Amino acid sequence: MKLRPKIALFEPDIPQNTAAIIRTCACLGANLEIIEPCGFLFSDKRFKRVVMDYMDEKMIKFYQSSDEFFKSKKNERVILMTTKSSESYSAFKFKSDDTLLFGRESAGVPKNVHNLIEHKLKIPMINNKRSLNIASSVAIILSENLRQTSFINNE
């Protein structure tokens, strides 16, 4: 069985975005990792409305802190998606077991987390635009990872 890509969310703070990302991961066969604390409760009605029946506890792993997350990743490649990179995702060679890290919607990742990661990528956008919605960004990057690694979900 091929390894699945992993989407990691750093302290997500918008329930609807996290729910949409859970649906994307469920439909495309990726695992989701959430670095706490979250800015909402999973019982939030806004979360439940978007996640519907796509919530599968087996595909989600929670980390109590970024320290715990990075300790577990010491032998794995973590790629940070950030507007503060000069390297485009389309020029990067993904691996099927990469962990694709996305920062908090309101603030990205703190500088200390940014400094821990070797590979930092961005989604190029036209001038004067700040960023895409995180759920859209996850879909773009996960799709490119799957395209490059020829991941096929046979389950």
Q: What is the CATH number assigned to the segment(s) 6-149?
A: 3.40.1280.10
What pLDDT score was predicted for residue 79? 98
> Lowest-pLDDT range, 18-27, 34-43, 50-59, 94-103?
50-59
Sheet containing 31-35: give its strands across.
Answer: 60-63, 31-35, 6-10, 99-102, 78-81, 119-121
Contacts of 26 (CB under 8 A, 6+ apart): 54, 56, 59
Domain coordinates in residue numbering, the chain: 6-149
**Model's pTM, two decimal places?**
0.88
